Structure 1
């Protein structure tokens, strides 16, 4: 490739990234006529065509490049592109044929002992603010939902957004977008209201009647709007709907019926599902245990059927990861598809060859969370001046089940019980407990009395604690008198170490050489 051609292609690439498609076309169309079989020109032209509604022209052009390509990697790339073009044109049968062809080429590549080089990910802007961590995403969520509610539109948190709020008490730090749902009766009103509020509709390759993407004009935050409707008295359905298309062109997700209640926020009243656990259990099954490999479109447990439409999404994402050299992520998609369709031979072979390649390269094969029964453990503790005794207790508490939730007691409660404030604030204590590897979730508020209703609400099977004295034991058992005995587990208190001991050491002069003389076994 000449230097001049490289400069032209880079300029066209910059125009595409900037959304200046007219200028990109002025460069690429003449080059395409001059060199119709150049893969470099073809890749950029197809990328432009995807964005400008020229999908119908991609398939024959990509087919010509595919026919002249050498090697399984290149063949897989162009088969993937043909599959994507067919997918967007809603020719799903042809899309699946092309995607399967791409998978077979990648398997052949693996058989030859080769794997695509891992692409370097685009580095995030230095110092870029994570809107989910900062709380701005949550502020935008509630502001949006409150404004919709004020207009009589019952939109509410959904999917991953709802999961974070219910499980963690805040949005998931690693999330990428906001998810809200609305009844289809309010669909058009909701879409119009969002656009007036500064949410801009994002064009997508396929236009569904009950799903739409938006981006916020000021923050750049993205939002997924999902439409739900009642199927009957017991069921609610959502997903991706393509009217006037057969069943294989739909993605139908089914939820048990739930209600909406109003919830007060700092930004106004909003609508919220009640009980939210119904939605989360339908989506995720064991929603309380994080699964970093989850893909909502593909993994959702409430899919009515693994249709051609869902399979196209799954194949496309699998192949894209494999071509990019992200073999572990490609394996995760292969595994998810196999869970949905254990008879998919191409996928079973993909998973097998990906495992062999990962092993050959010395990379770990991902561990998909199993479907083992969950046994969730709950405890309350002060955890002031975190020490060895706390670690021992948390280790033993976690060993009682598969998940440990710790409520770090508020400062006011400590003052009420002990007549003095802890040395560390609740925020400081919660931060330390969160860092302990035996702890799955930390909360900072819970009822003083642990009741069966509270345990059932959060799925806790065991309430545990340790007691330093008979007085403390009596007090702690009083706070859980309504629990059945099999839900209570007292653990052994670690002797010889306590927060009070540490305070005494500090007051006596931390680091003093006197301690060595007090302990003849030291050293």
Structure 2
């Protein structure tokens, strides 16, 4: 049993960890571990220290002993979560998922017994006067950092939650906790080096991703996330978390439509900024104009290529952590987000159900997931030559069929084959015009002439739509979607009185006069 001297040593070790003095913490904790090998208090702090040092590999063996000896469901949930976290950092994701699952089972058993962890009160005092986001300091630092990088021909630009705040609120989000910027992978290392030369310190991450780094501003303590993006093909850019020597299930790949950058003046200097920021935000958030306080970018992002084992580990880790801390609303939100990604995840479904029971039993307000409606993606093909109000009317009607509209602007060669003449505008010019239409979420330049179910499912399209100027054109367009089931096809009305041909006639008439 611990005496006062031992308890003081434990407290000193905890303080040393907080202050970053890991060598002193290790000296104290290793001594205590030898004296009290099965003490839960010593083990908890020792594991916390070990996961910050090169001793992390020893954590599972030690934590397993404590996990097996305790009979309390809440304590078992805690140690199962710690084991899951340790295996996560060691990139043994299968074992990590196993222990996170055990933690949820213990918490469900606790709920079945009519109990739940008490909600922990945050020790952090919210002082709006000292908040660097509400004061505008964080935004000034963002612009000065991006301007510094731009001077070095490094095209870093606001990204993720930072871009969301600038576009939706006209400023950084008041409740944000860091600044997000992105840059193409070919400039990623140069960008990181330049940051370290100009007041930003690298924060080592538990998992060393190739395309994601964290930095802290030496003067203000603000955190900066740097995301590396890669051009996958002519119409897709990828981001996320990359672990090159690991299989696909150990990656987190997010997909964006190709976008361009433009220069933008700020009080701190010229910076780079997305030409069409709404394309990035729509890919990320869907309805990005509606605030969602329960959103978690790592898990919630709508543009994840797959809900991989790596993403599931992040989701399980955060779900259990919130549940253990008594934050049942946040825990529910993670269970709900997992189910949105994987409706067959029975563990997440059971967790969500029990969290709802516990909240109902304790009289807590039930959470609501904003815009909780299924995505309905619409696809169409068009020439869009001499872009005019008829095209706009069609695109508006097409977008109203669902929550997302993708337009394939067909090639010059295809127009020549179909109409016997080239369009007035090149494909690149037509793509630029369609991309600028506010009803369009994404533009592509290649798709099969005859749509198939396989093509629609591959890209997540639910509806194929078109409009026809005459009966001959109508027959041809129905032939192009003849392989699709009837419920996938939707014909829209053609706007009378305006067409590309009519505009060409006017031009020729005016030229003759």
* 1:172 corresponding residue in structure 2: 173
Instruction: Supply the RMSD in Å over aligned alpha carbons.
Output: 2.0
Partner Cα separation in structure 2 for residue 81 and residue 371 of structure 1: 32
* CA drift at 1:373: 10
After superposition, residues 505-520 of structure 1 pair within 5 angstroms as none
The structure-2 alpha-carbon separation of the partners of 1:454 and 1:303, relative to structure 1 and needing over 3 Å to count, comes to closer
**Structure 1 residues 51-109: Cα deviation after superposition (integer angstroms, max 9, x where no partner):** 11211100000001101012111111111111111111111111111111111111111
* 2:4 corresponding residue in structure 1: 3
* CA drift at 1:117: 1.1
Query: Do the aligned residues in 1 keep the contact of 2:81 with 2:103 (CA within 8 Å)?
Result: yes
1:156 and 2:157 aligned: yes
Partner Cα separation in structure 2 for residue 85 and residue 109 of structure 1: 23
Partner Cα separation in structure 2 for residue 53 and residue 347 of structure 1: 33
Secondary structure of the residue aligned to 2:58 is helix
Gaps of 5+ in 2: 376-434, 442-494, 496-513
* 1:468 corresponding residue in structure 2: none
Partner Cα separation in structure 1 for residue 269 and residue 371 of structure 2: 41
Partner Cα separation in structure 2 for residue 4 and residue 325 of structure 1: 32
Query: Do the aligned residues in 1 keep the contact of 2:201 with 2:218 (CA within 8 Å)?
Result: yes
* CA drift at 1:370: 2.5
* CA drift at 1:120: 2.0
* CA drift at 1:6: 2.5
* 2:51 corresponding residue in structure 1: 50
Partner Cα separation in structure 2 for residue 318 and residue 269 of structure 1: 41
1:117 and 2:118 aligned: yes
The structure-2 alpha-carbon separation of the partners of 1:350 and 1:145, relative to structure 1 and needing over 3 Å to count, comes to same
Query: Do the aligned residues in 1 keep the contact of 2:133 with 2:172 (CA within 8 Å)?
Result: yes
Gaps of 5+ in 1: 375-452, 460-483, 485-523
Query: Do the aligned residues in 1 keep the contact of 2:14 with 2:45 (CA within 8 Å)?
Result: yes
Question: Normalization by structure 2: what TM-score?
Answer: 0.72
* Greater displacement, 50-59 / 142-151: 50-59
Partner Cα separation in structure 2 for residue 254 and residue 180 of structure 1: 16
The structure-2 alpha-carbon separation of the partners of 1:119 and 1:237, relative to structure 1 and needing over 3 Å to count, comes to same
Query: Do the aligned residues in 1 keep the contact of 2:128 with 2:134 (CA within 8 Å)?
Result: no
1:77 and 2:78 aligned: yes
* CA drift at 1:5: 2.8
* 1:203 corresponding residue in structure 2: 204
* 2:242 corresponding residue in structure 1: 241
Query: Do the aligned residues in 1 keep the contact of 2:129 with 2:135 (CA within 8 Å)?
Result: no
Partner Cα separation in structure 1 for residue 129 and residue 36 of structure 2: 41
After superposition, residues 364-379 of structure 1 pair within 5 angstroms as 364-371=365-372
Secondary structure of the residue aligned to 1:255 is strand
* CA drift at 1:455: 10
Partner Cα separation in structure 2 for residue 73 and residue 11 of structure 1: 26
* CA drift at 1:454: 11
After superposition, residues 15-26 of structure 1 pair within 5 angstroms as 15-26=16-27
**Structure 1 residues 357-378: Cα deviation after superposition (integer angstroms, max 9, x where no partner):** 011111011111134599xxxx
**Structure 1 residues 318-373: Cα deviation after superposition (integer angstroms, max 9, x where no partner):** 00001111111101111111111110001100000000001111101111113459
Query: Do the aligned residues in 1 keep the contact of 2:22 with 2:49 (CA within 8 Å)?
Result: yes
The structure-2 alpha-carbon separation of the partners of 1:208 and 1:120, relative to structure 1 and needing over 3 Å to count, comes to same
* 1:300 corresponding residue in structure 2: 301
Partner Cα separation in structure 1 for residue 333 and residue 72 of structure 2: 25
* 2:100 corresponding residue in structure 1: 99
* 2:68 corresponding residue in structure 1: 67
Query: Do the aligned residues in 1 keep the contact of 2:335 with 2:352 (CA within 8 Å)?
Result: yes
Secondary structure of the residue aligned to 1:176 is coil
* CA drift at 1:2: 3.7
Question: Normalization by structure 1: what TM-score?
Answer: 0.71
**Structure 1 residues 227-249: Cα deviation after superposition (integer angstroms, max 9, x where no partner):** 00100001000000000110000
